[in-house]
Structure 1
Amino acid sequence: MDLPIILASGSAHRRGLLANAGIAVEVLPSTIDERAVEDALDASDVTPDDVAAILAEAKAVEVSERSPGRIVLGADQTLALGDEILHKVSSMEEARRTLLKLSGKSHRLHSAYALVRDGSVLQRRVETATITFRDLSPAAIGHYLARVGDTALSSVGCYQVEGQGLTLIDRIDGDVFTIMGLPMLPLLNDLRQLGALND
């Protein structure tokens, strides 16, 4: 393919995953209000994995309407503790409360992506991973937050498995790329089928 795919996100992390796989990418962040979309879905019976898929598709469709003829990748991830969807926090006190809530429990990460061209969805997928936290004392949470600082505010769940967040975890069931927010193996297969990879 002559033109790089467009990533409908300003996520440096997702861009890095794509670049590491040798995928040429251009960044054009979506302007949709994610929380407004989620609020509109609250009254319906959509599941956390559906929310991730709907948001990924909405981002890709919005950007594709500004990028005629181009393949656009939208992505999103939700963290579900039971039926509750958790969001990024804005303070260390909220981070502490989130980690206490996750302590000793299993939560599910739903990572979705959509590939869209000219407003038409070419592919949409959701992959799920389950993470179980070990029992965390308030002191252990305090020590962790002191070590990672504001990095805790950059991720849903207040941790990153590729960093010190790994010390919070007892068990992981699922693909590491799903946990990191972009299921790379199915994405690569879909891009090959669309003729968007030169490998």
Structure 2
Amino acid sequence: MVVGILLAAGAGQRFGGGKLLAEMANGQCIAEVACRALIPAVDRLIAVVRRGDEALAARLAACGAEICVAVDAQRGMGASLAAGVAQAPDGDGWLIALGDMPLVASTDSTRVADALRGGALIVVPVADGRRGHPVGFAPRFLPDLLALSGDAGARALLSKYSAEVVEIPVGDARRWCDVDTSDDLAVARALFKQS
């Protein structure tokens, strides 16, 4: 059972707050689009949200995600990731995705998840010479994932266990456009209309 962990607990300070509820071209919010694209790739999906973010939690639950409230989300992405993994410690692997990346293709996420199912230990999609998202981790890394904190997320694990990383070629690095500012949102909306 590969478990998707959708990280949607950021404060969105550079955006001015509330970025994950910003609407895409189809009327769904950023996090909803990311959630709906991740669901086909995983057997279970957990969306990690901040305490008090009931509107976002309701929209993600309506998409089919289980909700995990990260009570210490202010400690950074690592803490939110650890909270999500802690809700499914018996998973056969975890697919870590970002709620502010609405353009990641379901097919790309499925390829990463399938590599985990096939026995890969850490899986990273690669396009145009750079690594992207989502990133997959096998059960062996449960203690490392539960110990994460700070803003770096799981990046340190990719360095620490670099020999275990399997890179999966995918089509287009533009799909990793993350929405941090209103300009990013305009770019994401334009790319979304093209897809």
TM-score where L is the length of structure 1: 0.31
Which structure has the larger Rg? Answer: 1
TM-score where L is the length of structure 2: 0.31
Structure number having the greater strand percentage:
1
